[in-house]
Amino acid sequence: MKGKLIVFEGVEGCGKTSQIQLTQEWLLSFQTSVVVTRQPGGTELGLYLRKLLLEAGSHSIIDKTELLLYAADRSQHVEQVIKPALQDGAIVLCDRYTHSTIAYQGWGRGLDINLIDQLNTIATSGLESDLTLWFDVDVEVGLARKRGGGDILDRIEKETIAFHRRVQQGYAHLADSHPEQIVRVDGSLSQEAVQQKIQAILTARLEAWIDEKKDNLDLAP
């Protein structure tokens, strides 16, 4: 069976990374193959690009250069990690994908959306997510979570509140424009409540796959 690409999206501190781990544990209970990965940084090359993009060093990155670096990371990642995993029938849980670039570089930076769409298509060879979960949380709440965690903020996290609000507006617009692909999850709920909603969404979307896994478990000696 062909694999599925499930993407986790949202503003900083929305909780998506923790939810990916919980979702992986849940999916593994069905004895299926699950690949957890991220953009940027899902490949060896991507780790170098992630460092360039996110470390808050003395260098400055032009907005268009930033966009191209994300595209380069995505191209390498899709060909080296995502496509092979999908061909093997795995469920791929990806921390950020194409919608991040539209929200951050398009809405946040103000770069041309048509250009971003073209670059996304080139970088992914047209591969879209089967489902994108958007963790909707107020940007102030998300940033407070990041700062309260004690971690050093990266270059993007240090952006102005106005920038992060534009990013949030971008996600809201994408969700309204692609209701079949992008599903909103209330990121302000407790971690347990959010995970329950994720499981309900995935069960509904992957019902045939879930039933097949359950049948295989029932038939196991």
Q: Which residues are annotated as a binding site?
A: 10-17
Cα 78 from Cα 94, distance rounded (Å): 11
Q: 136 pairs with which residues across the strands?
A: 186
**Start-end of H helices in 34-78:** 44-54, 63-77
In three-state secondary structure terms, 39 is coil
In three-state secondary structure terms, 57 is coil
Cα 29 from Cα 138, distance rounded (Å): 32
In three-state secondary structure terms, 170 is helix
Q: Which residues are annotated as a binding site for ATP?
A: 10-17
Cα 122 from Cα 7, distance rounded (Å): 19
